[in-house]
Each structure stands twice: as structure tokens, then as C-alpha cells.
Amino acid sequence: MVDAFDTTESMVNLTLSSYFITYAVGLLFWGPLSEKFGRKPILLVGIGSYMLASILCALSGSIEHLIASRVLQAFAGSAITVVSTAIVKDMFEGRERERIMATIMSLVIIAPMVAPYWGHFCCKSLLGA
């Protein structure tokens, strides 16, 4: 990504740092809204916004644009996490809840770290670059 955007490693790392900071703030924002307006509307807003932000990430022509798109992606992704966590807590108890939550949280932590690199690799492969 450093070569693709002609930037520094610290700027590329900022895509991840800004993602996690925004994601943490988003969790606090979406939680009360999912209680007030229900799970489904917040989930749909989160999924739709995440898809739009992902398209913006793919179309990024500069590292600054990518960072801004990742911030939007993190905010939307936090809505999805809040709702999925709430649904698991609503539907399951005991060991089954713990197992499902462990799986969800593992994916939540790993996906943002590997997604940009994997996406960049796939784009390069598809474009033959």
C-alpha cells in the first residue's frame, strides 16, 4: 500500500488506527439507538453505510481518501457489531452465548486488520498489476 499510494508506512498505519478509534466511538453511538429504534433499522443502516464506505475505499486515489473512507467504514461497522452482539445476547444463554460471542469478536478484531491488504492484493491480481 505504501507503493500504491506513494506514501509512508505511518500513513498506511493511520488507516488502521483511525478505524479502531472511530469504531470504538461508534459502538457508544449505535448502542442506545438500537435500543430506541430497534435492531433491524440500525442493522440496515449499518450494512448499507458499510457497503457504501467499502466502495469509497476501493475507489480511493490517495491515502487521505482511504483514511476518510475507513473512518466511515468503521462507524458503519460498529453499528453492525452492536446489533449482532445484542441479538446474540437476546437469543442465547450460558456456554452457547460465550462460544458465539467469542467467534464474533474474533472476526471483529481480525477483519479490519487484514481487509485492506487482502483487498489491495486481490485488486492487483485482478488488474494484472
Q: Are 84 and 35 in contact (CB under 8 A)?
A: no
pLDDT at 127: 67
- Closest to 41 measured CA to CA, from 8, 79, 85, 86: 79
pLDDT of residue 40: 95
Name the region of 94 (left: φ>0; alpha: ψ -120 to 50; beta: rest).
left
In whole angstroms, what is the distance from residue 82 CA to residue 114 CA? 21
Spans in the chain with pLDDT lower than 50: none
What is residue 120's predicted lDDT score, i.e. its pLDDT?
Answer: 67
Q: What's the confidence (pLDDT) of residue 77?
A: 93
**For position 56, what pLDDT does the model report?**
94
Q: What is the pLDDT of residues 50-64, one digit of tens each?
A: 999 999 988 988 999
Specify the pLDDT at position 124: 66
DSSP string, 42-98: HHHHHHHHHHHHHHHHHT--SHHHHHHHHHHHHHHHHHHHHHHHHHHHHH--HHHHH
pLDDT of residue 7: 86
